[in-house]
Structure 1
Amino acid sequence: MPIDWLALGAALISGLAGSVHCVAMCGGVATGLGSLAGQGRPGFGAALRINGGRILGYGLAGVAVGSVGHGLLMVAPQLGLALRVALGAALVLIALRLLDSGRRLAALHKSGAALWQWLAPLRRRLLPANTAARQLGLGMLWGWMPCGLSSAVLFAAWLQADVLQSALLMLAFGLGTLPAMLPLSYSGLRLGGLFARPGLRRAGGVLVLLSGVLTMAAPWLMHSPLLQPLLAGLGCH
């Protein structure tokens, strides 16, 4: 199956443009984990391993939901078209969240603090995070802490109904958040502010919105001789 570059690009842009959300919801966690890993003196290597673990956690979550979605598609292959349209709708929802400067969708921005507390005993077993393995483990737990934006992207990954596509989509999202979250983990300074500018967020939201609309329309646009080569190159199916 070809790589779905359209959805992959939308996930990467969502991570970049959603940096404001990531800083607001996870900034304290990023700074705190960086300090734990550095035992009060967070270093770049520790911050990189923690964020690498977080992105790996996203990827493993993508593998899990992709497996479930693939199993559903194997049982009911006729759902393929519906899942593709639903994937486009999920991307549109992500775009609306990115464009929600007035926080009218604030109810969807909850951070899943209950699960983070439920994982507390496992977090404590990884402390002190004075080895690379423990730092990666802490990062993976951080990646499994749900928030509104990552949960929306995970839902889109499930709708891919393919293990590889779902994992790549979540990895792309994680890489998109890296420019903002890595400096927070390293120094606690908001050096990722460049990627959190409202203009970038709005531009990213528009691009994701267009990706979502094109994804929903792709099954019908594939019948157009003029658009078939372009959509095939983007991995739309």
Structure 2
Amino acid sequence: MSTMEIAFFIGLFGSVHCIGMCGPLAFSIPAFHHQWWRVILDKLIYNVGRLISYMLLGLLIGLLGRQLWLLGLQQGVSILSGLLIIGAGLSRMLKFRFAQSRSLASMLQPLNNLIAYALQHRAGHFIVGILNGFLPCGFVYIALVGAVNTGTTSGSAAYMFWFGVGTFPLMLVATISSGFIGPVLRRRINRGIPYLMVCLGIWFTLRGLALDIPYLSPAKQAGGVAVCH
């Protein structure tokens, strides 16, 4: 499975979580039209806005990843990324919750105010979608960890693009139908997500270890770049 395919599936499975976390915001955007096709177009535009935000985040994290790659730290970054994702997955399995930082909440307040202002003044689905894309989300963080491991700004942006595409189907249908996935089914699917996170973390860790296992843990070239067989 290629890196971009992994990004897509992270987005696809993570979108179940997104419906529960970001769905209420998407559902709260009023419909300005009565024709069904214009309502669908509005929701499509909203999700395109999210996708653009993810790509912008990918470009930013890609600049950091490129510098790390130039310093020859790609293996360490991959291993650290994997361990962080494994830790996040295990914390969800064990139902361990980190205390919410007040400083983080205060930092996000301007963004929350912008979203509230956009909703009150009918700024449009596109603007609200862009703003929503910058809200903190565990699966966006996981995707960014994967993006930084691509080592280039273009690769990082492409990674976040495919992550966004993965979130598209469920989020689009959910915003149109006001949440077609019931809470019981969503809880059942969410129970399996931590296991997916641990598997993903193991993959990043093995990739960084360069054990010369085809596709899973490619060998490291003399120049410091892992080779996919």
Question: Structure 2 length normalisation: TM-score?
Answer: 0.72
Identify the match of residue 139 of structure 1 among 129, 132, 157.
129
Out of 135, 139, 150, the position equivalent to 1:149 is: 139
| Mapping for residues 155-234 of structure 1, pairs under 5 Å | 155-188=145-178, 190-193=179-182, 197-223=186-212, 227-228=213-214
C-alpha RMSD of matched pairs (Å): 3.7
Q: Which amino acid aligns with 2:39?
A: G
Q: What secondary structure does 1:191 align onto?
A: coil
How far does residue 20 in structure 1 lie from its aligned partner after superposition?
Answer: 4.6
Matches within 5 A, 1:73-88: 73-74=69-70, 76-77=71-72, 79-88=73-82
* Counterpart position of 1:39: 32
Identity of aligned residues (%): 26
Q: Tell me which residue corresponds to 2:222.
A: none
Distance 1:179 1:72 in 2: 34
Distance 1:44 1:106, change over 3 A: farther
User: How far apart are the structure 1 equivalents of 2:57 and 2:155?
Assistant: 12
Counterpart contact for 2:76–2:208, Cα < 8 Å: no
One-letter amino acid of the structure 2 residue matched with residue 89 of structure 1: L
The letter for the 2-side match of 1:217 is L
1:85 deviation in Å?
Answer: 1.1
> CA offset at residue 193 of structure 1?
4.4
**Pair 1:67–1:221, CA change in 2 (3 A):** closer
- Distance in 2, matches of 1:156 and 1:230, equals 15
Q: How does 1:108-127 map to 2 (within 5 A)?
A: 114=106, 117-119=109-111, 120-121=113-114, 124=117, 127=121
* Partner of residue 61 from structure 1, selected from 57, 75, 80: 57
1:5 partnered with 2:2 = yes
Q: Secondary structure at the match of 1:228?
A: coil
| Change beyond 3 A, Cα 1:141–1:66 | same
1:40-87, Cα deviation, whole Å (9 max, x unpaired): 76811100110111012111101111112212332x22x121112123
Return the structure number with greater helix share. Answer: 1
Gaps of 5+ in 2: 219-224
Shift of 1:102: 6.4
- Alpha-carbon distance change, 56 to 96 in structure 1, aligned in 2, over 3 angstroms: farther
